[in-house]
Structure 1
């Protein structure tokens, strides 16, 4: 059975004012992502990758076009309604980890689940931290964890809410090669287990090749949309 389209960007453009006049960041970009798909967004610096990710996730709005996420038109919503959609359907993993320094690893993972009203948040958070290899680090604060451990906490936090789609912006960018490889394995293990759609920005070829599909941006336009030749098939 063919997976349904989970995320659909239609003729998206983004223009921002500058002192020198209007700057076009994205122009007439269309992209559909299916349920359970893994997509790498690549391109040189300044090509519009992060802007596109923000628009797809409902963190930003396009100047033109529209974005449909899980059947809901984000571009017709105000920020409060978009935040509600993000809370229900979206997870995030950032290069800078984005952990709250005053909370332990366990509390960082629990927080979004508690905000979503999920029951047994503590038990679920313990389970996901154990799955990412941090069962012995539950009470540690971010400053007591290595970069790789902090990213694992961020991944546990993202997957624990069981999002339909996970957006990741350079998730291995601040990690050494060995630790980054472990984080990549973890992302795709959880992707297969939960059938979570992955949309990743990356400069790393090894990460892009693990995705089932790659789109390449140049100067705000979609220059290439191809399967990743080395992508590993999802388990069934």
Structure 2
């Protein structure tokens, strides 16, 4: 029997102002450990906001999110950060690489923070796996957008996360490289039983996931399973 690793209970997100902006409302679903989920929908539908809430990067206005058996809404920011450090990898659409570190150093960072004595070796192997073995000593500003995305993906893999959240992981990549990275994501899903949660506009990538949730106007419009 699988364990539920993400449990979302009637979650809403509202930005307060002269007129309240409702971004998400009444989002409810659960995801088993080791599954893969694609969150799809039009631009501005609330997909990326939902992803941030699931990862504990932000807190909902209403409802509950239980991540790896931890109720995120009951935790402090420091406690949520500790949960992310232990369980979560995140591939940001904007990469979030450190400009003062080389590609190798960016990937080494999560390994070093965990006290991994093989940080250099493992980071090199990960960068080779994403096809950047000739870019180890390059800084982010010396890399193309697609190359930066691959560094970000290698860094996310480095922590061996139980859950990997990815916001448009192939959005900055050409078709060939995007297919290669997609394969890597699902290899991680299979090899390490890593739960994948992806926001994507790419139908082919979405269809590779076990489940799809379509968000429109802040609500779940449709759910499907492969």
Q: Deviations over 1:8-56 (max 9, x none)?
A: 111111111123x112111111111111111000011221111111110
SS of residue matched to 1:84: helix
Alignment equivalent of 2:61, drawn from 60, 63, 66: 63
Check conservation: 1:41, 1:216, Cα contact below 8 A.
yes
Query: Partner of 2:212 in structure 1?
Result: 214
Query: Partner of 1:178 in structure 2?
Result: 176
Check conservation: 1:95, 1:172, Cα contact below 8 A.
no
CA distance in 2: counterparts of 1:179 and 1:96, whole angstroms: 18
Greater mean alpha carbon deviation, residues 126-135 or residues 39-48: 126-135
TM normalised by structure 1 equals 0.90
Q: CA deviation at 1:127?
A: 2.2
Matched, 1:42 2:44: no
Q: Deviations over 1:178-230 (max 9, x none)?
A: 322222122222222221111000111111111111000111111111114xx
Q: CA deviation at 1:126?
A: 1.9
TM normalised by structure 2 equals 0.94
CA distance in 1: counterparts of 2:85 and 2:144, whole angstroms: 28
Query: Partner of 2:202 in structure 1?
Result: 204
SS of residue matched to 1:50: helix
Distance 1:174 1:136, change over 3 A: closer
Check conservation: 2:149, 2:172, Cα contact below 8 A.
no
Runs of at least 4 residues off by over 4 Å = none
1:152-191 correspondence to structure 2 within 5 Å = 152-191=150-189
Q: CA deviation at 1:174?
A: 2.0
Matched, 1:27 2:25: yes
Q: Deviations over 1:163-182 (max 9, x none)?
A: 11000001122223232222
Q: CA deviation at 1:132?
A: 2.2
CA distance in 2: counterparts of 1:116 and 1:11, whole angstroms: 35
CA distance in 1: counterparts of 2:147 and 2:80, whole angstroms: 30
CA distance in 1: counterparts of 2:79 and 2:71, whole angstroms: 10
CA distance in 1: counterparts of 2:131 and 2:173, whole angstroms: 17
Alignment equivalent of 2:222, drawn from 210, 221, 224: 224
Q: Which structure 2 segments of 5+ residues have no match? A: none
Q: CA deviation at 1:146?
A: 3.1
Alignment equivalent of 2:123, drawn from 109, 116, 125: 125
Q: CA deviation at 1:94?
A: 1.7
CA RMSD of aligned residues (A): 1.5
Query: Partner of 2:2 in structure 1?
Result: 3
Matched, 1:13 2:36: no
1:39-118 correspondence to structure 2 within 5 Å = 39-118=37-116
Q: Between Structure 1 and Structure 2, how many residues are aligned?
A: 226
